[in-house]
A and B are shown apart, each in its own frame.
Chain A
């Protein structure tokens, strides 16, 4: 799955070994945005081996925050069942909101490896 960023949704890439999101997330209808992503993840993420999740978000609204809880819960379950999941939470040095958001998520994750990564302001991981 490959979906370019829009004004309200991030770039999304999902494959059998890797999931990546970059951008802002505050869609009008969170359901419309989240459903295809979760469906795709259910379809392609393997039960064993290694899996990398790369996130670099600038902003997400509260509805999206709930989506990210589901998103991490999905990987937490996968990790519990034997998939080695590595989550890289990228944030810009100046962006304490995202740093804190990352910290919040990190607290909930036990099985996944969660790493907060400070990236330069002009990071171009797109």
Chain B
């Protein structure tokens, strides 16, 4: 059972219960009110009836009471007075009665009652002797029901006459007296009667007088006054006014009340069921109220009751109408509420059911379902269902986003996979044999895997594909790299051999032979296989040129420049005159400038050139000349080591213009040994964090302390010092160290092969 049905069932059940309780309560209330109304009706009727009958009684019957009656009538019963004749003496009526002088007695009694009977103030008068003999009976001419004075009449007090007599004689007694026609011809006569005894002077009772007034008149009056129909119930039978008039109109409707017989029997039935036969009750089916009250204070309703039938059809109809209206309204309101709740719950639950369907759809992956539209009259976006719809929309949006992302990922993955496949196929195309088969097998396998399966599988396979592709490709790439490496090694070898060849070329440019009159020792060491350092020895018949230069840069560029420098040094030699060292260097500078066109490009400051020194030994004069460009000539002689500094300009430098003249230093008597070097020696750095260059001073000191002053010894000495100084630190530059000594004996020029380095 769905919640909606449970809710509705509970609602209907609740309403039914409330309605039942309400109807029951209303009926109880109604019943109580009816009872109250009935009681008060009965009391009202009772009071009205009794007061009316009392008034009637007082007016018509009671004036004959020997004690309470009117004075002239009272006197008539006084045994000590003769009221009839207006004299003192014995009362003749009393006497006649005592003596059972019936004629006189009747005469006196007629005197008292005749007028009242004729005027119908009273209905009858009876007189009995104490023995029970009727001595007098007078009844009205217009009697209703049994005639009390007929032979067929049987008053009810006959049944227990003695006690009735005794009671009445003792004191006047008011009572209801019913007179039955034993022949059954006349209906029962019901009378309000006064019974009293007549006493003689001695107080002895002599007669009983019963004066009665038929209640029919009262009944008629009451009937008219209260617009009711009446019946008197007595001893199990009832009579109505109709019985007296005997016009057969009991079926007629009077005062809105018809079918009197039926009503009477209903009333009798109720009287039997009731405890005291006093009640008032509405009989809706008959449209009347039935009220039963005692007919007199002297009797109980059980004995004789007056039944009053009042037309209540209008009240009943009104009550019914009101009830129907109330129940209809109640039903309508309940139905409306149920309907409203039905509509609300229908709306809400159909939305909830729709939401459930949508969520199920989402679980299946169907995101197209939408919440149905809502009646804006009964719903708002703020209520529970509205919020539910909003939440579902948000959830769907998220799912759509996620789906979109998934699609994007899948697309990206597919592109990537396709690229991988393409690359792998390309690779496979380049392979042969089993490697090719293996790769094609991989591709096929991956394709099959990717064609089926869910996202997760595809993602996994795609990653596997990448891994396989990567491993295959890396295999291939590493073999390619190996191949490339081989190429590179080959290329390097080629370069190296080129450089080695260049080194051989550069070596070839070094002096191949030295003049025999000068001893040389050279340590030439390019940092790389080739370098910018070069030395130059040119022997002319009368002089020898010795140069040690350090071209700008090192390595191959330095080597190129050194070739130019060597050419320059060669071209600068002028045999035509006694060219001194300064002239020579100046000329070299000029040629270099021209060669490199540096004058034209001075602004660019291409400071290509060289530092270095040149010596010219003039054999004839035994004179050694020296010119230096940022370079020094060291001399070791008997007087110690000394330094001859050159100019502070470089050859080819923009600072040394073509017009610069290098100075010539002359060494007369050039004994001892001479050392020329490039800054590869002086710039050897110590192996400290903050290193210091070896410097010219250490060169001087080394020379100073040298035990062997031969060129070989000096070179060894200096190189040993330098190597100690640098303590394993690498050379920073090309270095050239050249030592020579001029042989003392002025022997002829001998050309000697240069020993290979």
Q: Which residues of A contact B (CB under 8 A)?
A: 24, 26, 58-59, 61-63, 66, 69-70, 92, 94-98, 100, 104, 107, 123
- Contact A95-B692, Cβ < 8 Å, known A59-B683, A62-B550, A66-B607: yes
Closest to A94 in B: B692
Cα–Cα, bound, A104→B650 (Å): 13
Q: Are B692 and A24 in contact (CB under 8 A)?
A: no
Q: Does B291 contact A (CB under 8 A)?
A: no
Contacts A61-B733, A62-B679, A63-B552 given; indicate if A92 touches B692 (C-beta within 8 A): yes
Cα of A123 to Cα of B605 in the assembled complex, Å: 35
A58, B693: Cβ atoms under 8 Å? yes
A62 touches B611 (CB 8 A): yes
What is the interface of chain B mostly: helix, strand, loop, or mixed?
loop
Q: Which 9 A-B pairs have the closest CB atoms?
A: A97-B693, A97-B695, A96-B697, A95-B692, A96-B695, A66-B607, A58-B691, A59-B693, A94-B692
Q: How far is the CB of A9 from chain B (nearest CB, A)?
A: 14
In whole angstroms, what is the CA distance A63 to B732 when docked?
Answer: 13
Residue from the list B553, B655, B683 in contact with A97, Cβ < 8 A: B683
Q: A61: shortest Cβ distance to chain B, in Å? A: 7
Q: Are B552 and A97 in contact (CB under 8 A)?
A: no
Taking CB atoms, residues of chain A closer than 8 Å to B553 are 63
For the complex, what is the distance from the CA of A58 to the CA of B692, rounded to whole Å?
Answer: 6
Which residues of A sit under 8 angstroms from B693, Cβ to Cβ? 58-59, 95, 97-98
Cβ contact within 8 Å between B690 and A26: no
Write out the residue numbers on chain A whose beta carbons fall within 8 Å of the beta carbon of B732: 26, 59, 61
In the complex, the chain B residue whose C-beta lies closest to that of A95 is B692
Instruction: Decide: A97 and B682 in contact? CB cutoff 8 A.
Output: yes
Specify which chain B residues have a CB less than 8 angstroms from the CB of A96 in the assembled complex: 695-697
B window 454-490: CB within 8 A of A: none
Residue of A96, A100, A107 most packed against chain B (CB within 10 A):
A96
Kindly list chain A residues whose C-beta atoms are within 8 Å of the C-beta of B696. 96-97, 100
- Tell me if A69 and B655 are in contact (CB < 8 A): yes
Nearest A residue to B698 by beta-carbon distance? A96
Cβ 8 A contact of A62, one of B650, B691, B697: B650
Write 11 A-B pairs (CB below 8 A) sorted by A numbering: A24-B685, A59-B691, A59-B732, A61-B732, A61-B733, A66-B653, A96-B696, A97-B694, A97-B695, A97-B696, A104-B648
Known contacts being A24-B691, A95-B693, A96-B696, is A59 close to B685, with CB within 8 Å? Answer: yes
**Other CB < 8 Å A-B pairs besides A62-B630, A66-B605, 18 of them?**
A24-B691, A26-B732, A58-B685, A58-B692, A58-B693, A59-B683, A59-B732, A61-B683, A62-B552, A63-B607, A66-B653, A92-B690, A95-B695, A96-B696, A97-B693, A98-B692, A100-B696, A104-B648
- Output the nearest chain A residue to B685 by Cβ-Cβ distance: A59
Residues of B within 8 A of A24 (CB): 685, 691
Nearest-neighbour CB distance to chain A for B688, whole angstroms, equals: 9
**B648 neighbours in A (Cβ, 8 Å):** 104, 107
Q: Which residues of A contact B653 (CB under 8 A)?
A: 66
- Contacting residues, chain A, for B685 (C-beta < 8 A): 24, 58-59
Nearest CB to that of B732 among chain A residues? A26
- B696: min CB distance to chain A, Å: 7
Chain B residues 612 to 664 lying within 8 A of chain A, measured CB to CB, are 630, 648, 650, 653, 655
With a cutoff of 8 Å between Cβ atoms, the chain A residues found around residue B655 in the complex are: 66, 69
Interface size on B, residues (CB 8 A): 25
In the bound complex, CA of A92 to CA of B697 (Å): 14
* Nearest Cβ on chain A to B602's Cβ, whole angstroms: 13
A98 to B682, CA, bound (A): 11
Q: How far is the CA of A2 from the CA of B691 in the complex (A)?
A: 22
Which A residues are CB-close (under 8 A) to B691? 24, 58-59
Nearest-neighbour CB distance to chain B for A122, whole angstroms, equals 8
* A116–chain B nearest beta-carbon distance, Å: 15
Chain B residues, Cβ within 8 Å of A97: 682-683, 692-696
CB proximity of A43 to chain B, nearest CB, Å: 21
Determine how close the nearest CB of chain B comes to the CB of A89; give it in whole angstroms: 15
CB closest chain-A residue, reference B550: A62
* Among B553, B695, B696, residue most surrounded by chain A Cβ atoms (within 10 Å): B695
CB closest chain-B residue, reference A93? B692
User: A92 contacts which chain B residues (CB < 8 A)?
Assistant: 690, 692
Look across to chain A and name the residue whose beta carbon is closest to the beta carbon of B553. A63
Which residue of the partner chain A has the closest CB to B679? A62
Using CB atoms, name the residue of chain B closest to A66.
Answer: B607
Interface string of B521-565 (1 = CB under 8 A from A): 000000000000000000000000000001011000000000000
A62 to B692, CA, bound (A): 16
CA distance A95 to B648 in the complex (A): 19
Q: Return the chain A residue nearest B690 by Cβ.
A: A58
Q: Quote the shortest CB–CB distance from A119 to chain B (angstroms).
A: 10
Minimum CB distance partner of A92 in chain B = B692
How far apart are the CA atoms of A61 and B630 in the complex, in Å?
Answer: 13
> Whole-angstrom distance from the CB of A35 to the nearest CB of chain B?
12
When chains A and B are docked, how far (Å) is the Cα of A101 from the Cα of B371? 93
Residues in chain A near residue B550, CB distance under 8 A: 62
Residues of A within 8 Å of B692, CB to CB, are 58, 92, 94-95, 97-98
- CB proximity of B167 to chain A, nearest CB, Å: 153
Question: How close is A33's CB to chain B, nearest CB, in angstroms?
Answer: 15
- B550 nearest CB across to chain A (Å): 7
- How long is the Cα–Cα vector from A99 to B733 in the complex, in angstroms? 21
Q: Which residues of B contact A123 (CB under 8 A)?
A: 690
Task: Name the A residues within 8 Å of B679 (CB-CB).
Answer: 61-62
| A117 CB → nearest B CB, Å | 16
Which residues of the partner chain B approach A63 to less than 8 Å between Cβ atoms? 552-553, 607
How far, in angstroms, from A62 to B648 measured CA to CA in the complex?
12
CB proximity of B697 to chain A, nearest CB, Å: 4
A contact residues around B697 at 8 Å (CB): 96
Distance between Cα atoms of A123 and B688 in the complex (Å): 13
Q: Contact string, B686-722, partner A, CB cutoff 8 A, digits 1/0?
A: 0000111111110000000000000000000000000
Minimal beta-carbon separation of A92 from chain B (angstroms)? 6
Q: Mark B661-690, 1 if CB is under 8 A from A, else 0.
A: 000000000000000000100110100001
Q: B682's closest neighbor in chain A, by CB?
A: A97
CA distance A58 to B733 in the complex (A): 15
**Separation in Å of the A25 CB from the closest CB of chain B?**
12
Chain A residues near B552 (CB, 8 Å)?
62-63
Identity of the chain A residue whose Cβ is nearest the Cβ of B655 in the assembled complex: A69
Residues in B neighbouring A95, C-beta threshold 8 A: 692-693, 695
Q: How far is the CA of A95 from the CA of B696 in the complex (A)?
A: 10
When distances are taken between beta carbons in the complex, the residues of chain B under 8 Å from A104 are: 648
The distance from the CB of B289 to the nearest CB of chain A, in whole angstroms, is 125
* Nearest chain A residue, comparing its CB with the CB of B696: A96
How far is it, in angstroms, between the C-alpha of A95 and the C-alpha of B611 when the chains are bound? 21
Q: A97 to B695: give the CA distance in the assembly, Å.
A: 5
- Shortest Cβ distance from residue B561 to the other chain A in the assembled complex, whole angstroms: 12
Chain A contacts for B690, CB-based, 8 A? 58, 92, 123
Complex CA distance for A70 and B607, rounded to whole angstroms: 12
Q: With both chains docked as a complex, state the minimum distance between the C-beta of B423 and any C-beta of chain A, in angstroms.
A: 40
Nearest Cβ on chain B to A47's Cβ, whole angstroms: 24
Q: How far is the CA of A94 from the CA of B692 in the complex (A)?
A: 8
Residue of A nearest to B607 (CB): A66
Report the nearest A residue to B532, measured CB to CB: A62
Q: Which residues of A contact B682 (CB under 8 A)?
A: 97
Closest to A91 in B: B692
A8 CB, min distance to chain B CBs, angstroms: 9
Please name all residues of chain B whose beta carbon is closer than 8 Å to the beta carbon of A66 when the two chains form the complex: 605, 607, 653, 655
Q: Which of B721-757 contact A (CB under 8 A)?
A: 732-733
Which residues from chain B contact A100 at a C-beta distance below 8 Å? 696
Contacts of B733 in A (CB 8 A): 61
A60, B25: Cα distance in complex, Å: 123
